[in-house]
């Protein structure tokens, strides 16, 4: 089996960014999964040497620019997410999908915590559900993300 090239991995990150930017109604916007973080987790779990902390940092900077947030806010969160995923990737790859979903939720906790801590420092505090809803929805969609990206990974 060949590993997917950087073009395929890049396309998946671009697709995740597009999903991140699709306008949603106010009632469901709160529950938008962290598509880019999920894609980052998958590739760092599958190919930790190809996609690492540097790529996570660059993707985070892109998200900062797109959302107009403090430069480095998402970059730091993505770097922590990538580090934790790479650190435990050998174990997590062997878990069943429901346990991987729990791992995804645990790994997203520091990412969301960093983001909301920075927002709090800037005086832009949000409610508790702004913190938990994306984590919970990301855990729910993880099996679909996993199988979709795995199909791309094995197709090559």
Q: What is the pLDDT of residue 150?
A: 92
Quick: pLDDT tens for 130-147.
778 999 999 999 999 999
> How many domains does one find in the chain?
1
15 domain residue, yes or no: yes
133 domain residue, yes or no: yes
4 vs 22: which has the higher pLDDT: 22
Distance in angstroms (rounded) separating the CA atoms of residues 129 and 135: 10
Domain range enclosing 49: 6-155
Banded model confidence at residue 6, pLDDT cuts 50, 70, 90: confident
CATH number at residue 77: 1.10.1760
Quick: pLDDT tens for 66-119.
998 889 999 999 999 999 999 999 999 999 999 999 999 999 999 998 888 887
1 domain residue, yes or no: no
Exposure letters 55-67 (e unless 16+ CB within 10 A, then b): bbbebbbbbbeee
Task: Write the CB contacts of 22 (distance below 8 Å, at least 6 apart in sequence).
Answer: none
Q: What is the pLDDT of residue 19?
A: 95
Distance in angstroms (rounded) separating the CA atoms of residues 144 and 141: 5
Banded model confidence at residue 155, pLDDT cuts 50, 70, 90: low
The CB density around residue 141, as the number of other CB atoms within 10 Å, is 16
The number of residues in the chain equals: 156
Q: Could you tell me the sign of the dihedral formed by the alpha carbons of 69, 72, 73, 79, in that order? A: positive
109 domain residue, yes or no: yes
59 domain residue, yes or no: yes
**Beta carbons of 77 and 110 less than 8 angstroms apart:** yes
The CB density around residue 26, as the number of other CB atoms within 10 Å, is 6
């Amino acid at each position: 089996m060949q590993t997917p090239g950087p073009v395929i991995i890049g396309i998946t990150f671009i697709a995740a960014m597009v999903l991140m930017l699709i306008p949603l109604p106010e009632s469901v916007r709160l529950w938008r999964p962290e598509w880019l973080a999920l894609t980052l987790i998958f590739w760092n779990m599958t190919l930790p040497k190809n996609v690492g902390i540097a790529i996570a940092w660059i993707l985070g900077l892109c998200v900062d620019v797109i959302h107009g947030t403090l430069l480095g806010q998402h970059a730091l969160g993505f770097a922590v997410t990538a580090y934790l995923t790479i650190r435990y990737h050998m174990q997590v790859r062997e878990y069943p999908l429901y346990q991987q979903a729990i791992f995804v939720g645990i790994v997203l906790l520091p990412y969301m915590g960093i983001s909301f801590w920075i927002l709090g420092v800037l005086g832009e505090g949000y409610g508790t559900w702004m913190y938990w809803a994306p984590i919970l929805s990301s855990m729910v969609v993880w099996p679909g993300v996993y199988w979709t990206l795995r199909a791309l990974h094995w197709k090559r």
